[in-house]
Chains A and B, each alone.
Chain A
Amino acid sequence: MAEQAVAGPTTAGRPDFSRVSWPALARYYRGEFSAATANNLAYRGAVAIWVVTTVIQPLVSIVVWRTVAGPGGQVSGYSSAEFVTYFAITMLVEHLTFIWLMWEFEYRIRTGSMSPLLLRPIHPIHKDVCDNLSYKVIGLLGVVPAMVLLVVGFGGDVSDIGVAQVLAFLLALLLAMALRFVLEWVLALSAFWLTKISALNNLYFSVFLFLGGSFAPLAVLPEAVRAVALVSPFPWMLAFPVEVAMGRRSGADVLVGYGVQLLWLGLALLLLRLVWRRAVRRYSAVGA
């Protein structure tokens, strides 16, 4: 009775929010995923353009690096056929790991559309995970055929890719997706402090382009740059899964790679926890 009096008239029968309910979360994910998919399908034209953009960059890289390697030649252990495979798979990994939330957050903070997300008894990251997954699933419809076309059209070398490589690749890919998502989500949170974070985004993506392996395979980079790259989180979000798929890493090397990915993921999650709490405290955008 006393507790009813404190909590008000309609407390009875309310769900317990002090712990996570997995079935409820699963229901939410299903709902948010289908909402996001409906959105993406409503704007399928825009999605198609994004997918085309995703395909253009590897196309350019393939043309350039094939020319550099020349017919029958090699650059740092990559033949021109292997460059084709590398950039084709990179495109797939890039599509599956890429997130655009850094730009979205700037908009959210400036317009106050972050507020409704903060009013719900669920962490806003869940919505972003769903939106992201949905976009990726739909995008695969364009990216996978494009990848096959690139490999076939430019004569990519897939002789080292077997079932073992594909399975090992899938785990590396999942970890890369998780790592990049969490890390870039944290970076996006800087919008709470800066409100205009485009400059920071561009810096981040420039560094990522080099150290992550999307500009060139790590083996091609100068020794010093490669050393820096390997102690950064970047190659573990892109180059590593690609190398695993191509069979350029095997055995213990792959296991160590997973370990490094997990380590970075753990760090990123810790950072997320820390920064998120401060970000919410900080939230005071005009018109929030």
Chain B
Amino acid sequence: MTAITVDRLHKTYTVPEREGGLRAAVGSLVRRRTRQVRAVAEVSFEIDHGEVVGFLGPNGAGKTTTLKMLAGLLHPTSGEARVLGSTPWQRERSYLSRMALIMGQRNQLQWDIPVLDSYRLNQAVFRIPDAQFRSRLDELTELLELQALLRKPVRNLSLGERMKCEIAGSLLHAPQVLFLDEPTIGLDVAMQRRIRSFVADYNRRTGACVMLTSHYMADVEALCRRVIVIHHGRLLFDGGLTDLVHRFAAEKTITVELEESRADDADLARLVGGHPLERSATGISVRVPKAETARVAARLLAELPVVDLVVEEPPIESVIEQVFDAPEEQPSGQEVTGG
């Protein structure tokens, strides 16, 4: 049961371009130069009903552009997409009424009126029958603990409270496809966790298909078994999260804070088994294969004046970087040329 089919989706923006300074500004009056910027390049994938897919990539990779095309906000330059049987950018009302795009940095609720009034407006827009509206609102209120917030104007809410309200507002019409663009950005850890478990729960209960972008690995780990990675608009990886993590987060970073940094380079290189090493003002950090983590850490603890030692997974950005650096990991058929 395919919910989303994307076939060689391509988006190029035309942006004006000029050098800085007055001369260039005057020049641009006469002759305007533009540049083609490729945001999404021939991306293809399919997502089934009920799937939660992490959509990853560094800033500017083309994630948001892709989501906007799938939500019907942007027209692609070329390529096809079908979501719930519709072509999104034809913007049929029946399609818009069955999907939601939630952008962490974008306000969809009305700023000056109580949250509940915005919800009532959504009820009218999405033509939700009273009984359904009430039962969904009750459910969302309970799950996201909104009781105290419903009667406050949106402008009086904290960022986290607002995000909860935004999410609830976008789910009142029970969308079958949910696009979440950085839903936890700027939120504290507890709120991030709550939103994560809520999304998982929503997916479980309704069987809705969820596509999620996030810079927080924890979001992706908690929610997505599958991830799609894009970089410079190109699809680089499409597969299980465990595959991705296993393959590319095969290293860990050991960061050591030292009492005094007297060890010399040769000594340190021996201690860490020749793995890449960085010195900082307070100590060193070294990236080692997972299997060697314990051994190297033990050696460091035994032989250096260690104040503190931390073992970390590499951050998601660097995992993506590694996917990008490893061309053999590209699934066949997804490789793109030209553009």
Question: Which residues of A are interface residues toward B (Cβ below 8 A)?
Answer: 5-11, 13-18, 21, 24, 27-28, 30-32, 34-35, 38-39, 42-43, 112-113, 115-116, 118-122, 280-281, 283-284, 286, 288
Contacts and interface: CB of A to CB of B under 8 A. Distances in A.
B225 interface: no
Given A31-B121, A283-B74, 8 more contacts: A8-B207, A30-B124, A118-B72, A119-B73, A119-B101, A121-B97, A121-B125, A283-B75
Given A15-B97, A39-B110, A116-B107, A8 B125 contact: no
Interface in B88-133: 89, 91-94, 96-98, 100-101, 103, 106-108, 110, 112-113, 117-118, 120-121, 123-129, 132
Nearest to B117: A35
Contacts of A119: 71-73, 96, 100-101, 108
B49 A118 contact: no
Nearest to A35: B113
B13 A284 contact: yes
A284 B121 contact: no
A116 B106 contact: yes
A88 to B, nearest CB: 33
A118 B85 CA distance: 20
Contacts of A35: 110, 113, 117-118, 121
Interface of B: 1, 3, 13, 15, 49-50, 68, 71-75, 84-85, 89, 91-94, 96-98, 100-101, 103, 106-108, 110, 112-113, 117-118, 120-121, 123-129, 132, 174, 176-177, 206-209
In the complex, which of the residues A5, A6, A32, A121 has the most CB atoms of chain B within 10 Å of its own CB atom?
Answer: A121
A77 B200 CA distance: 76
B3 A31 contact: no
A121 B128 CA distance: 12
Given A18-B93, A288-B68, A6 B127 contact: no
- Top 9 A-B residue pairs of the complex, sorted by shortest distance between their CB atoms: A9-B207, A28-B124, A17-B93, A121-B93, A121-B96, A15-B127, A116-B108, A17-B94, A121-B97
